[in-house]
Amino acid sequence: MKFFINKRGGLAAFAMLSLLFTASCQDHHWMAYDESNPLPEPGSPEALAQAEKNRKAHTKASQFQLDKPAGAAFKGTIVSGMVNLPEELAEKALAEWTLYIIARPLDGGAPLAAAKAVEVKFPFNFRLDERNIMVGGPTEGMKLRIEAMLDSDGDPITKSPGDLFGRLEGDAVLGAENVVITLRKKSS
């Protein structure tokens, strides 16, 4: 043990343990070369066939993307309206907080569009449009669930006890205007 203890004893011990654990961890991934599927020799018929297969797959993927316009092809309002704060919360110091407004398809899934605002004054008017699209693209008559969150730490993933939430009662149709969301403390 005295071998490991010197001015950099912790570092030496860490290095030795890392080597031991790394070596023992990798043995179950070992495979004999003749059992593996090595790459074909460049220029061989197998390599040329694989290259042609990859080219066709890439071309097909590119055509798919061109045939289906991205969400950015949509122009116009997804939803617009106002976020309110109840009077009992209006006195609270919220200047450093971050407001997130999210439009999701009513049938679920990833957010269609989202916006982030800082140094918000209430009531806060908002508009989600083509610049806010996150995933996919809106379709005519699409029904949406509109949510808002006033977040104390600026990270929409974390949920702090004081964060405020709101949701439009009912659903909105793509292009809806004058929707009103009132933020409230989340009930436990």
Has this prediction a pTM greater than 0.75?
no
User: Domain 72-185's class?
Assistant: mainly beta
Domain locations in the chain as residue ranges: 9-67, 72-185
Q: What is the pLDDT of residues 11-58, one digit of tens each?
A: 666 666 565 555 555 555 555 656 666 677 888 888 788 777 776 665
The answer to whether residue 173 scores a pLDDT higher than 90 is yes
Q: What are the distances in angstroms from CA 128 to CA 77, 123, 172, 177?
A: 6, 16, 13, 10
Q: Nearest to residue 122, comparing CAs of 144, 93, 157?
A: 93
Of 70 and 105, more confident: 105
pLDDT of residue 127: 96
Average pLDDT for the chain: 78
Which pLDDT score is estimated for 41? 81
* Residues in Cβ contact with 94 at an 8 Å cutoff, skipping those fewer than 6 apart: 85, 120, 150
Higher-scoring residue by pLDDT: 63, 129:
129
